[in-house]
Amino acid sequence: MGILNGKKIVILGDRDGIPGPAIEACVATVDGAEVVFSTTECFV
């Protein structure tokens, strides 16, 4: 995932889909990527 190196990441997860913390855990494996905001919302 070299495309995320050195980037600031904003994560919008979905309550019925993939929650924000799950996406954040995946992004945490990328060196140099920084999560600046992560949330899980309900889009109905």
- pLDDT tens digits, residue range 1-40? 578 889 999 999 999 999 999 999 999 998 899 999 999 9
The model scores a pTM over 0.75: yes
Close Cβ partners of 16 (under 8 Å, ≥ 6 residues apart): 42
Strands (E), the chain: 8-14, 34-41
Close Cβ partners of 30 (under 8 Å, ≥ 6 residues apart): 1, 4, 5
